[in-house]
Amino acid sequence: MGKKLITYLVAAICTVIVINIPSAFGATASFNDYPFLYKGIRSLGMGSAYTAVGKDAEALFYNPAALYEMGFQLSLFDPAVEIDNGVTDLAQDVLDAMDLETEQERSDALFAIIEKNQGKPLHIRFALFPHVAVKNVAVGILGQGRGDIKLHSPLSSAGAVELHGGYEYGPVAGFSMGLPLTGLRAGAGAKYIARSWLNKNFTIADIASESFDFDQEKIDKSDISFDIGFLYDIPFLSMLKPQAGLSLLDITDIDFEDGGKIPQRLNLGVSIHPEVPYMASLILALDYQDVTGAYEQDDSFGKRLHLGAEAGFLKNHIILRAGLNQGYASLGVGIDVWAVKLTYANYKEEIGVYAGQDKDERQAIQLVIGW
């Protein structure tokens, strides 16, 4: 049963996300997106421009200095799911194939599905980040499962399905404090993350025969990293409430060896918070992330550029978000009713080597129960 469950999981992941890559850029998918630990739905809706925004626990992953004066927050249960357009049809095809009686029938059906979707990357993510925050301090526990897949030729001896995925978990904490210079705050954070990861190519026979043993193939590693950040109230154009942020994240890298690495990187950001009639709040933000080029996949300027906006209405019970993530539009909406929050984001991630090459469109939704 254990092996069969893992096989079904691999098959389901293969179905969970299909990325439609424009034919003008070729049929072969590439995975040159930047490795990450966690992305919150709020920041995704804002084009991931978040270094000088914050005031919630997502700041732990962008700039711990932005935890300053965030007030009390308690997230008891906050599942987030990220999938792609068109996932339902592909998922049903694979699950139907796995229900066939014989191994030969399953192989033939899987062969046809992969051949039809050859060259398309797949992506899925499920995350939980319960946390508590009081004024300048935030503590949480991250639990997350992810999968990134490429479908190759069903006849490939190297495997028709290439899977990179698994799960990770661990505590995350940070704090912020004011410094003697007026308007300047500093913050620090730490993460201890354990990862169980799989880098594996599957043939059609592997999947159809239900012979894969996850425990023997997975890579188990853990690492600790530290973050520091600064947030400064710019002392001019006070009606716009401008801020500048700087953060050095994942100092010494989060290194899982064969299970992957998230490099140390330097991010810069600015934001303004003007008061606008009929709006409870308005934030406009700009980020340039990975200033020093720690992501070795490329040197693309556009992939590191992020712009975002957030507008709150009805005492921030309804929030609209928009932005540009790596040159692609992102949209988001949030509804906050007492102890229940529902947040949605549509964004695109660049999986090519330059902005505008291969986009991966993703839908993300999160339900939060807490205050």
For the stretch 136-159, pLDDT in tens is 999 999 999 998 877 777 666 667
Residue 240's CB is within 10 A of a number of other CB atoms, namely 15
**In this model, does residue 164 exceed pLDDT 90?**
no
For the stretch 299-346, pLDDT in tens is 999 999 999 999 999 999 999 999 999 999 999 999 999 899 999 999
Give the C-alpha separation, 175 to 167, whole Å.
26
Cβ atoms 323, 45 nearer than 8 A: yes
Residue 207 pLDDT exceeds 90: no
Nearest one of 145, 247, 241 to 186, comparing CA atoms? 247
Q: What is the pTM of this model?
A: 0.83
First to last CA, the chain: 41
Distance from C-alpha of 119 to C-alpha of 307, rounded to nearest angstrom: 30
CA–CA separation, 144 and 305 (whole Å): 26
Neighbour-count burial of 168, counting CB atoms closer than 10 A to its CB (0-12 exposed, 13-18 middle, 19+ buried): buried
Residue 339: give its domain's CATH number: 2.40.160
With a cut of 50, say whether residue 365 has pLDDT above it: yes
Q: Which residues of 123-154 are buried (b: 16+ CB within 10 A; e: fewer)?
A: bbbbbbbbbbbeebbbbbebebbbbbbbbbeb
Q: How many domains does the chain have?
A: 1
Report the chain's mean pLDDT, rounded to a whole number. 85
Residue 197 main-chain phi, psi, to 5 deg: -130, 155
Q: Over the stretch 243-275, which tens digit does the pLDDT of each residue have?
A: 999 999 999 999 999 889 999 999 999 999 999
For 67-114, the pLDDT digits (tens) are 988 888 999 999 999 987 656 566 777 778 877 878 788 778 877 877
Distance CA 173, CA 159 (A): 41
Helix (H, G, I), strand (E, B) or coil at 289: coil
79 CB-contact burial (10 Å; exposed 0-12 / middle 13-18 / buried 19+): middle
Domain extent for 147:
2-370
